[in-house]
Amino acid sequence: MMRAFVFDKYKEVVHEADVPEPVVGDRDVLVRVDAAGVNQLDEKIREGEFKAILPYKTPLVLGHDLAGTVIRTGSKVQGFTPGDRVFGRPRDGRIGTFAERIAIDETDLALAPTSISPVEAASLPLVALTAWQALVVRGKVQQGQKVLIHAGAGGVGSITIQLAKHLGAYVATTASGKNADFVRDLGADVVIDYRSQDFEKELSGYDLVLDSLGGANLEKSLRILRPGGTAIGISGPPDPAFAKKAGMNPVLRLAVTALSGKIRRQAKKLGVTYEFLFMSANGHQLRKIAALVEDGTLRPVVGKTFTFDETPDALDSLAKGGINGKTVITGA
């Protein structure tokens, strides 16, 4: 048995429990968790918001990010050996980094950058993969394009600004006035104080928007795009393409199509596109991200750390907000 933090029913708080040791398959890597990143996705799963998309059984160990040390490998694993320092985002269905150990498919892992600490490495996988999949894979951002990144001081925003600048984009972001210097230091060219300014009145002709807020913010984001531009939403609503890729049944697919119907109609009327991005685990992309960390292009932003015993407090801190970058739990 090992220590972990679980919740027993949706909407209930997490608590410490003894859980069985991970089962290590042929292509799995058993990792000692040295640090674990905390994400809004953890809270959304605990609250039951993604039950239809991710039908987890409870009790469930949360946690989508880790940096750690390889303990042993499955018989068919070739890329890792015991003692390797690694980082990764375990795939959906196999999460659980708020624990002493976890077994991860080798294709979800990469060697951790050597120039940063385990705490910094643990802050990266989910948010950096989100940024990569939004800007590189989906957005295909080119030199000179205009990109708006909402909530630039947050976990996703702080990495996405840096990646967008690396790709040669002109970057606008929304943030509170007190964080204006912080996001400029990350590379933002234009900072909109969301408390005193309306970004829709300040910006126009953008190629891409990364929206992490949804609702009215997403609707306004469509209106600052140039014709042919794209808004990528990471908080929803999910779209038919996602439902198809996720292999949902016809009833669920219809429900998802209805959820995003209004925003897709608005986008079509404006001559722009809306896409939902639910980031996925990808060790190959993480290796590219690690190289950008090693050469100084990307720098992790850790706003606050908690000990393993303080895991419930770390999750509570997400709701309170006000933390720049990521919250990270140090290992058990």
* 147-166: pLDDT as tens digits: 999 999 999 999 999 999 99
| Residue 248 in this model has a pLDDT that exceeds 90 | no
The pLDDT value recorded for residue 270 is 98
Reported confidence tier of residue 179, pLDDT bands at 50, 70, 90:
very high
To the nearest whole percent, how much of the chain has pLDDT over 70?
100
- What stretches of 123-273 show up as alpha helix (H) in DSSP? 125-132, 155-166, 180-186, 199-202, 215-222, 240-245, 250-259, 261-270
Report domain extents, the chain: 2-123+300-330, 126-276
Parallel/antiparallel/unpaired status of strands 170-175 and 146-149: parallel
Q: With the CA atoms of 290, 157, 7 and 2 taken in that order, what torsion angle do they form, in degrees rounded to the nearest 10?
A: 20
Give me the pLDDT at residue 55, please. Answer: 84
pLDDT digits (tens, 9 = 90+) for 16-46: 999 999 999 999 999 999 999 999 999 999 9
From CA 183, how far away is CA 169, in angstroms rounded? 15
CB 322 within 8 A of CB 299: no
Q: Is 274 helix (H, G, I), strand (E, B) or coil?
A: strand
d(CA 105, CA 28): 4
What are the b/e assignments for 281-314, b being 16+ CB within 10 Å?
Answer: bbbebbeebbebbeeeebbbbbbebbebeebbeb
The reported pLDDT for the residue numbered 236 is 84
Q: What is the pLDDT of residue 53?
A: 80
How far apart CA 9 and CA 186 sit, in angstroms, is: 39
* Residues belonging to the chain: 332
Beta bridge partners of 85: 69
CATH superfamily of 2-123+300-330: Medium-chain alcohol dehydrogenases, catalytic domain (3.90.180.10)
* pLDDT at position 16: 97
Task: Residue 3: name the closest of 100, 97, 71 by CA.
Answer: 100
Tell me how far apart the alpha carbons of residues 308 and 305 are, in angstroms, rounded to a whole number.
10
pLDDT at 331 over 90: no
Q: What is the distance between the alpha carbons of residues 22 and 315, in angstroms, rounded to a whole number?
A: 23
| Nearest-angstrom CA–CA distance, 120 and 252 | 38
Q: Which CATH number is 126-276's, of 3.40.50.720, 3.50.50.60, 3.40.1380.10, 3.60.15.10?
A: 3.40.50.720
Compute the mean pLDDT over every residue in the chain, rounded to the nearest whole number.
96
Place of tokens 């690396």: 166
Residue 321's pLDDT band, with cuts at 50, 70 and 90, is confident
Q: What stretches of 76-143 adopt beta strand conformation (E)?
A: 85-88, 101-105, 109-111
pLDDT at 319 over 90: no
98, with CB counted inside 10 A (0-12, 13-18, 19+), is buried
What is d(CA 131, CA 154) in angstroms, rounded to the nearest whole number? 12
CA distances, 77 to each of 70, 74, 137, 180, 280 (Å): 12, 5, 27, 46, 21
Express each pLDDT in 43-86 by its tens digit: 999 999 888 788 899 999 999 999 999 999 999 999 999 999 99
Q: How does residue 332 score in pLDDT terms, banded at 50, 70 and 90?
A: low
Element (H, E) at 61: strand 60-61
